Chains A and B, each alone.
Chain A
Amino acid sequence: MGNFQSLMDGFSVALTYQHVFIMVAGVLLGLVVGVLPGLGAPNGVSLLLPLTFTMDPVSAIILLTSMYWGALFGGSTTSILFNIPGEPSSVATTFDGYPMAQSGQAGRALTLAFASAGFGALAGVLVITLLSGWMAGFAMKFGPAEFFAVYFIAFAGFIGMSSGAPFKTVVSMGLGFALAAVGMDTVSGASRLTFEFDNLIGGISFLIAVIGLFGFGELLLTIEEGARFQGVRAKLRLRDIMATLVELPRYWKDLLRSSAIGCWMGITPGGPTAASFMSYGIARRMSGNRDSFGKGAPQGIVSPETADHSAGSCALLPMLALGIPGSATAAVMMGGLMIWGLSPGPMLFVERPDFVWGLIASMYMGNVIAVVLVLATVPFFAAMLRIPFNIIGPIIVVVCLTGALTVANKEFDIYMALAFGVIGYVFKKLDYPLAPLVLAMVLGDKAEDAFRQAMIASDGSMSVFWSNSLVTTMMLVGLGLLSLPLFGLLRRRKAAPAPMVEQSA
């Protein structure tokens, strides 16, 4: 089918020495970022973004996505060895990963995790390959009202599916929209919400917000928790790796089921974190040996890892095809695309197929490279974590602050990032979700433009959002999602722990 040919073309774009080098570098950087606290995937991608301005978009996006895979893998390393999730999406891996490592099987736990993760990621990329052309074609029929409806679904999904207080998500999202509105309005030329501050006329960069919220904020949290990394020693011998790889196909049901869950949660605004929890819960319920979960059951590692990585991959599909990022990191990447002058959405497939398919092809290679690299370098990264946080912490501070400067070379941005850091710290402690804020900041202008254009086309009538079956269906889905919390209130949750849907992967 047509997609296969496009994919082959994509490989020819992606398979250059330069790009492979970039993939290796990106994955290594991602591993560092995933393993260290204060440098999560969204933050890491934000820090790299300004450095990609001089690169061509294909190389740049390959770098960023490779870093993303690396970060996802790196997060699992600390979950298993230190019982400290490096990424929110690796929390579920601690449940069985750490006990298995503690019982002397660290190598097996790590290999199970990385191999399942690789499987999940590749499954996700396969889904992207198969569905993207269709989704983009579908979205070509979209007018401004339909686009607004899709954005509405995305935002409603975050509000509806967050397990915390929905109104905290509302506030978080609203603030994100407001931050996006600061600065010059493209339609009227007016300078909004700047209050005569010259520094704000150019707007507030989402990169600064992410560095502050996810960087400085995370660092403050880590200091508060008194980071002390005393973990299990890991020596990965080739023999153990091979033995575990042979063992893996035994869990084919978990692998397939978790991939499916992950793909679904990635495409809809569920996110890798929710996917990993859901997959763990279902695996436990469906296994014959429920009690062995939590004590080092192999399925307890395979299921969340597969789901989390397939969700991470699939979150990029709506980002590419519709312009709707399904996670904070995807939102940052999308922001990057916009800065490079590309506009994600169906037109991207038509105007720049080399970019899109080069990216998709690189995802296959990037994940394979990531699995190999992570297995090879795990002891190194584990050793790195033994450096006292009182030394690593300040180094990460320097990286974040320098990153803030690279965005626009403005000192003001540093203080802005610090302010966001405080907000991020307080918000995280009070369970205000941060991903909707980032999402709203990145999508805010586009959502507003779509709204305005729809309104102009309809002469100010809101009925444009109910004017045809497609847009009506989407609006209804969005409203349905918004009303989910009401059902949650009426129902009592069972003993299974409610997933902390932080969605910051």
Chain B
Amino acid sequence: MFNTRFAMEAATALFTALLGLVICVGSARHGISWNEQGPEAGFFPFYIGCMVLIGSAVNLAQAVLARRRLTGHFIESGRVRDVAAFFAAIVVFAVLVSLLGLYVGIALYLPAVTLWKARLRPARAVLLGLGAALFFYVCFEYAFKLPLPKGPLLNLFGLY
């Protein structure tokens, strides 16, 4: 029921309307009228928030009016799983990076997903992960001189 185009149009319009409201409320804190120096800090964002609210209302109305037409699936039922799985893997990767640093994260994420989804042979998958981690390490530490979070594991080896 939620996977229809109409449901998503309406939900998105409501979501953007909520954002618009948040923007308006957030700006109101800083004053939305004039003082001697011109418009107050909240003036501009407040009206932007109004713009978003009005736009969302129109989008919602248009979605409701076109309800009959918007019956198709938002995501084709066969594809929901693949999209969700792909995204979930990225989230896990992000958490891994937070906990263990970027390079360990890469070395874990790439073999895991290529083993699972691409049916890569284990040896190749691990090689890919390690190779990519090494490549990026050399790239950023030496070529671009841009140190990135290395996490506790690499810290143990004295690499900060």
Binding site for B on A (CB under 8 A): 50-51, 54, 165, 167-168, 170-171, 173-175, 177-178, 181, 185, 187-188, 190, 192-193, 195, 216, 219-220, 223-224, 226, 388, 390-391, 393-395, 397-398, 401-402, 405-406, 409, 411, 414-415, 418, 421-422, 426-427, 429-430, 432, 448, 451-452, 455-456, 460
Contacts and interface: CB of A to CB of B under 8 A. Distances in A.
B56 A171 contact: yes
Contacts of B97: 401, 405, 411, 414
A190 B37 contact: no
Contacts of B140: 402, 406
Interface band, chain B: 35 or more
Given A188-B40, A219-B86, A174 B20 contact: yes
Given A175-B19, A455-B39, A224 B52 contact: no
B26 A395 contact: no
Nearest to A173: B51
A174 B83 contact: no
Given A193-B23, A448-B44, A398 B136 contact: yes
Interface in B105-139: 106, 109-110, 113-114, 117-118, 120, 128, 132, 136
Contacts of A388: 118
Interface of B: 5, 8-9, 12, 16, 19-20, 23, 26-27, 30, 34, 37-42, 44-45, 48-49, 51-52, 54-56, 58-59, 62, 74-76, 79, 82-83, 86-87, 89-91, 93-94, 97-98, 102, 106, 109-110, 113-114, 117-118, 120, 128, 132, 136, 140, 144-149
Given A167-B62, A193-B26, A220-B86, A178 B110 contact: no
B83 A223 contact: yes
Contacts, number: 164
Contacts of B83: 220, 223-224
Nearest to B136: A402
B94 A414 contact: yes
Contact of B91 (A178, A223, A418, A460): A418
A411 B58 CA distance: 37
Nearest to A170: B55
Given A165-B59, A181-B44, A398-B132, A223 B82 contact: yes
B144 A51 contact: yes
B132 A188 contact: no
Nearest to A405: B148
Contacts of B54: 167, 170
Nearest to A178: B23
Contact of A456 (B37, B40, B79, B145): B37
A402 B114 CA distance: 18
Given A174-B52, A178-B23, A50 B75 contact: no
Nearest to A176: B48
Q: Which of A54, A167, A226, A455 has the most CB of B within 10 A?
A: A167
Main secondary structure of the interface of B (DSSP, over half): helix
Given A224-B75, A224-B79, A430-B12, A54 B145 contact: yes
29 contacts: A51-B146, A54-B145, A165-B62, A167-B54, A167-B62, A170-B52, A173-B51, A175-B52, A177-B48, A188-B40, A190-B41, A220-B86, A223-B82, A224-B76, A390-B113, A390-B118, A397-B90, A397-B93, A398-B110, A401-B94, A402-B106, A402-B140, A402-B148, A418-B90, A421-B87, A421-B90, A429-B8, A430-B9, A455-B38
A412 to B, nearest CB: 9
A170 B30 contact: no
Nearest to A219: B86
Contacts of B94: 401, 414-415, 418
Given A192-B41, A398-B110, A430-B8, 19 more contacts: A51-B146, A170-B54, A171-B16, A171-B56, A174-B48, A175-B19, A178-B52, A181-B44, A192-B27, A219-B86, A226-B82, A390-B114, A398-B93, A409-B147, A409-B149, A411-B97, A418-B94, A421-B87, A430-B5
A178 B98 contact: no
Contact of B27 (A193, A224, A397, A451): A193
A177 to B, nearest CB: 5
Contacts of B90: 216, 397, 401, 418, 421
A220 B86 CA distance: 8
A3 to B, nearest CB: 36
B149 A223 contact: no
A418 B52 CA distance: 22
A262 to B, nearest CB: 31
Contacts of B89: 394
A177 B27 CA distance: 13
A394 B52 contact: no
B45 A188 contact: no
A411 B117 CA distance: 27
Contacts of A418: 90-91, 94
A48 to B, nearest CB: 10
A405 B149 contact: yes
A427 B11 CA distance: 12
A432 B55 CA distance: 12
B2 to A, nearest CB: 13
A401 B91 CA distance: 11
A168 B55 contact: yes
Contacts of A177: 44-45, 48
A406 B144 CA distance: 10
A173 B91 CA distance: 28
